[in-house]
Amino acid sequence: MEEIVKKVILPAAGLGTRFLPATKASPKEMLPIVDKPLIQYAVEEAISAGIEEFIIITGKNKRAIEDHFDAAYRLEEKLKNSGKQQLLKEINKLNDVHFAYIRQKTALGLGHAIYCARPFVSHEPFAVILSDDVIDPDYPLLAEMVEIYEQKKSPVIALQEVPWDEVNRYGIIAGEREDRVFRISDLVEKPKPDRAPSNLAIIGRYILTPDIFQVLESQEPGAGGEIQLTDALRELLKKRPIYGYLIKGARYDAGDKLGFIKATIDFALRNSELAEGLRQYMKEKVADFR
Ligand code: UTP
């Protein structure tokens, strides 16, 4: 098996029901945090982890994503003529990146979305990023996970501690801890709090090995009637070790409205053009609450 992680799968075919009506005709991965769509943050994180090939799983609303990563000649011309060099640089930044698009015809679940990429991944490890799990753009999470993969030569899953009353929204693991790395002994999708083996939740960054496809091939639907990646990983765990990596920084569930608003505020506060105005506005707002 090839040992270098060169590919990333970016699933973007979910229905995004928590964000309707915004996601009725446009994928939630195109929602912007400040001025950049979620999926672009994910692509940039992958680039800084050394990823070279990008496979996007799209659903019925694929056009917006394809257009976003395509060249935009008329816009470029206009920016050039009006001397807006900085913006021009920004929109051209990913022009050399090549994307493959695969259609998931029906949103049967994350496990199924990943299975759809099988023809593009042969005997090599690959990364998966769920763009709606937003992290600090300066934090090289995927790069750290690639490093752990290189040591362990086994799948690595990002983890975060969540409040106990939220464990039923996540895949939850049990495992033995050594520093920030866990040797996983069990995984369970969306357990009730009294059934959860821990409050360590799986979040949207994975380094997987191609043997996951053999498991996904015959995976039955699980929680919510969807083909769950967590169930497939549980099956894979019978055959090989799987590791968890406790992330260091903040993470926002931008597929959820409140999580999205929090991410927007935090990212805006770190943006030199917006920080001062936003801080001032927030002070006024907080004063109103008193
Ligand atoms: P989520 O469960 O967060 O997304 O999937 P969702 O189903 O679109 O959102 P809600 O719960 O209805 O609001 C996590 C990731 O997996 C992708 C989603 O696009 C998202 O990036 N996904 C999910 C697929 O690509 N296909 C699926 O069948 C399901």
Residue 17 in tokens: 């029901």
Any ligand 1 atom below 6 A from CB of 253: no
CA of 11 from ligand 1 middle (Å) equals 8
pLDDT per residue as tens digits for the range 251-279: 999 999 999 999 999 999 999 999 999 99
- pLDDT for position 42: 97
The pLDDT, as a whole number, for residue 180 is 94
12 lines ligand 1 (CB under 6 A): yes
The pLDDT of 24-51, averaged and rounded, is 96
Q: Whose CA is nearest to atom 5 of ligand 1?
A: 14
Res 80: pLDDT? 87
Residue type at 135?
I
Task: Indicate which residue's Cα is closest to atom 2 of ligand 1.
Answer: 14
What is the average pLDDT value for the chain, to the nearest integer? 94
Q: Which domains does the chain have, with CATH numbers?
A: 7-255 (3.90.550.10)
Give me the pLDDT at residue 1, please: 63
State residue 122's pLDDT score: 83
Where does the pLDDT of residue 7 fall: very low under 50, low under 70, confident under 90, or very high at 90 and above? very high
**Does residue 104's CB lie within 6 angstroms of at least one atom of ligand 1?**
yes
Measured by CA distance, the residue closest to atom 9 of ligand 1 is 16
**Ligand 1 centre from 15 Cα, in Å?**
6
Residue 16 CA to ligand 1 centre (angstroms): 6
**Cβ of 188 below 6 Å from ligand 1:** no
Angle at 167 between CA 261 and CA 128, to 5 degrees: 70
Give mean pLDDT, residues 177-190. Answer: 94
Say yes or no to pLDDT of 61 above 80: no
pLDDT > 80? residue 2: no
CB atoms near residue 181 (< 10 Å)? 18
pTM: 0.94
- The predicted pLDDT at position 92 comes to 83
- Indicate the pLDDT class of residue 155, thresholds 50, 70 and 90: very high
Helix, strand, or coil here: 266?
Answer: helix
Q: What is the largest CA-CA distance in the chain?
A: 62
Distance from the alpha carbon of residue 38 to the mean position of ligand 1, in angstroms:
13
In angstroms, the CA 107 to CA 60 distance is 9
Q: Give kind and range of the element (H or E) at residue 146.
A: helix 141-152
Give the integer Cα–Cα distance in Å for 213 and 179.
30
Give the pLDDT confidence of 81-140 residue by residue, as tens digits. 998 898 888 888 888 898 999 999 999 999 999 999 999 998 899 999 999 999 998 899
Which residues on adjacent β-strands are paired with residue 102?
57
Percent of the chain scoring above 90 in pLDDT: 80
| Predicted pLDDT at 71 | 82
Structure tokens at 269: 């506060």
- Distance between Cα 170 and ligand 1 center (Å): 13
Name residue, tokens 């639907």.
221
Residues 130/251, Cβ–Cβ less than 8 Å = no
Predicted pLDDT of residue 94: 86
DSSP assignment of 213-251 equals: HHHHHTPPP-GGGS--HHHHHHHHTTTS--EEEE--S-E
Residue 61 CB–ligand 1 contact under 6 Å: no
Burial class (CB in 10 A: 0-12, 13-18, 19+), 243: buried
Predicted confidence at residue 13, as pLDDT, reads: 95
- The response to whether residue 109 sits with its C-beta less than 6 Å from ligand 1 reads yes
Among residues of the chain, what percentage have pLDDT more than 70?
99
Write down the pLDDT at residue 70. 86
Structure tokens at 87: 């913006």
Mean pLDDT of 153-158: 97
Ligand 1 and 15: CB distance under 6 A: yes
Whether residue 265 has its Cβ less than 6 Å from ligand 1: no
Query: What is the predicted pLDDT for the residue at 263?
Result: 98
Task: Kindly give the distance from the C-alpha atom of residue 9 to the centroid of ligand 1, in angstroms, as a whole number.
Answer: 13
Is the beta carbon of 11 within 6 A of some atom in ligand 1?
Answer: yes
Question: Is the Cβ atom of 130 under 6 angstroms away from ligand 1?
Answer: yes
